């Protein structure tokens, strides 16, 4: 490769000339980039299981808290009720969770894991940990991870 075949970006990168100074110190930009990198890896590692990040988060919440109301799970995950319906539909059609009518308030559905759902979530965990560990490794260990989580919590709270 010679200079004639190099794009402006390549020349600039080699010479350190591309000025990204504003973006490089932008929390919005860097958080977005990190989010995209993690999303990409999630899809690479867990995509063939037919599961998306939102699905995983719903299963995690229900597995740890059997019988929450549908709208409460949505609220915990900051998903709008309207958008949560199709998500719950999908997990229910796969037999991973089930809706149970409330006996005292007939508007309400309680969400429960099925045995199959619990087994499926368990089967996902090794891959999921591998996925998370990849980034913990890049950070330099669990202590760094905890520091990062704490900072991210400051941002979203």
Partner DNA sequence: TATTGTTATACTCTATAACTATA
Partner DNA sequence: TATAGTTATAGAGTATAACAATA
Site residues (CB under 8 A) for a copy of itself? 7-9, 12, 17-39, 42, 53, 57, 60-61, 64-65, 67-69, 71-72, 75-76, 78, 110, 131-132, 135-136, 138-140, 144-149, 151-157
Q: 3-state class of 100 per DSSP?
A: strand
CA distance 49 to 96: 13
Integer Cα distance of 133 and 141 in angstroms:
9
Which range touches DNA (CB under 7 A), out of 19-27, 47-55, 133-141, 148-156? 47-55
Minimum Å distance from CB 46 to a copy of itself? 10
Q: Residue 85: name its binding partner from DNA, a copy of itself, none (Cβ under 5 to 8 Å by kind).
A: DNA
User: Using CB under 7 A, which of 38, 45, 49, 52 touches DNA?
Assistant: 52
Q: Which is nearer to a copy of itself, 8 or 93 (CB)?
A: 8
Minimum CB–partner distance for residue 49 and DNA (Å): 13
* HSE, side-chain direction, 13 A CA sphere, residue 79: 20
Nearer to a copy of itself, 93 or 153 (CB): 153
Q: In the window 117-136, what residues touch DNA (CB under 7 A)? A: none
| 9-to-5, 13, 53, 76, 146 alpha-carbon distances in Å | 11, 6, 33, 43, 36
Quote the least distance from Cβ 92 to a copy of itself, whole Å: 19
* CB-CB contact of 98 with 114 (8 Å): yes
**C-alpha span between 26 and 144 (Å, rounded):** 21
């Amino acid at each position: 490769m010679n200079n004639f075949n190099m794009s402006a970006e390549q020349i600039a990168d080699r010479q350190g000339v591309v000025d990204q100074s504003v973006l490089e110190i932008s929390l919005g930009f860097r958080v977005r980039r990190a989010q995209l990198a993690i999303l990409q890896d999630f899809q690479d590692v867990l995509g063939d299981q037919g599961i998306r990040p939102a699905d995983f988060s719903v299963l995690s919440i229900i597995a740890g808290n059997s019988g929450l109301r549908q709208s409460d799970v949505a609220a915990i995950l900051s998903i709008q009720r309207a958008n949560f319906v199709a998500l719950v539909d999908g997990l229910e059609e796969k037999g991973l969770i089930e809706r149970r009518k409330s006996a005292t308030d007939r508007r309400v559905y309680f969400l429960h894991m099925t045995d199959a759902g619990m087994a499926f979530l368990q089967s996902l965990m090794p891959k999921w940990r591998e996925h998370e560990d990849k980034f913990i490794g890049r950070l330099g260990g669990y202590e760094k991870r905890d520091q990062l989580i704490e900072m991210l919590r400051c941002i979203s709270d």
